[in-house]
Every structure is written in structure tokens, then in C-alpha cells.
A and B are shown apart, each in its own frame.
Chain A
């Protein structure tokens, strides 16, 4: 089946630094990738939708200058948390979806735990 990986699985960084999280579709081409954020004991909140080769579409309330998303290829999307602060500590999950004919199902990555100290 379709597999999505994320790297790193966890990261600790200091306040003010930037962190990049990678999301890869390993065995299929993902025309669309989604980035979610999950706080402890809460649901997944969609942050942004990215389509290969175009700018990401951010959900209301998500700062696009803080959460930079790049979807440079059909198998890789990156989320960069810039100038991270402790309140950015969270679990970040990506999902990938193939193109027309693939059923439009979203396949989820294992998530990345970000802790900002």
C-alpha cells in the first residue's frame, strides 16, 4: 500500500531557531499534500494544503510566514517552522494524496513531535 514517511520523527530545538520537517510519499506520486497539527488529546487541525509546483493554501489563522511549506516534487513536501517558540511545540502530521484515479484517499505519515525549549 501507499506509504508516507516523515523526517525527523521528533526534534527538540531552541526558541528562535527554525526547524524543517520532511514528508515523502515513498511509492506513489502525491499531487497534493496536507499538513496537520495535533495538540495533546485534541484532534488534527489542518494547517495547509500544498499542490506540487504551486503555492500552499493556508487555513484561516495559520501564519504562512511562520509555517513555510514547499512542495517541490511529487514525492516531497517540507514544512519549515521559522523562529520557533514554545507554543509551536506540537505533533505535526502530513498526509499525501495521489492524483485523479487514485481514489483521492489521504495516506498519513507517522508524525513529527516538535518540542521548542
Chain B
């Protein structure tokens, strides 16, 4: 069965510091990975997906099949990055999503 692991419940960094939110997955098929973000009092929204290979709000994530990882990175954290981040794995023809437990990112001044 598929699984997504986010080892850190809370990550606190200072403004301007680099950020890395870890995500590991287990899935026997070909994975499609996503990062979703939830800002305070807002709904869940897509941040980026690995197939797009794009940078959104300065965030990037590279799929490493050898390490089964999809870590989210940003070189310089901003205060507005403070939010809950969920890593998700899409499986099956119906594109069902399996979510990790989430990491709360707190960017301090």
C-alpha cells in the first residue's frame, strides 16, 4: 500500500534562512507527487507537482526515485511562507491522493 511520510510536525526557521520540508513515499508503481499548502484559515491549495518541474513562490521540489523522496525547498524563507504543508501521492487511475501528516512551517523574524 502507498504511504507518505513527513517526519517533522513542526519546522521553525528564521526569515531569510533556507527551508527544507522532508517527504518520503512508498509506492510500488510510478508515483505522481504533490505539495499542498494551507495558510491560516484558508483552504488547502496546490503548491506544486513534480511533473511540472516548476518553481512556485520560490519553492522547488525534486522527485528522487532512488531515495523515494520529494523534499520541498526554498533558499530564503519569508514570513508569508508560514503555513501547513502537506506532501501527497497520487495513485491509481482515479488519481486518488494519499496525504502525509503535514509539517507546520513557522518563519520567525
Interface positions of A (Cβ within 8 A of B): 4, 32, 34, 42-46, 49, 57, 93, 95, 97, 104-106, 108-111
Contact = CB atoms under 8 A, between A and B. Distances in A.
A113 B37 CA distance: 19
Contacts of B45: 108
A106 B102 CA distance: 18
The 6 A-B pairs with the shortest beta carbon distances in the complex, nearest first, are: A108-B44, A43-B101, A43-B99, A110-B43, A44-B99, A108-B43
Contacts of B99: 43-45
Contact of B102 (A43, A93, A110): A43
Nearest to B100: A43
A106 B89 CA distance: 12
B46 interface: yes
Contacts of A111: 43
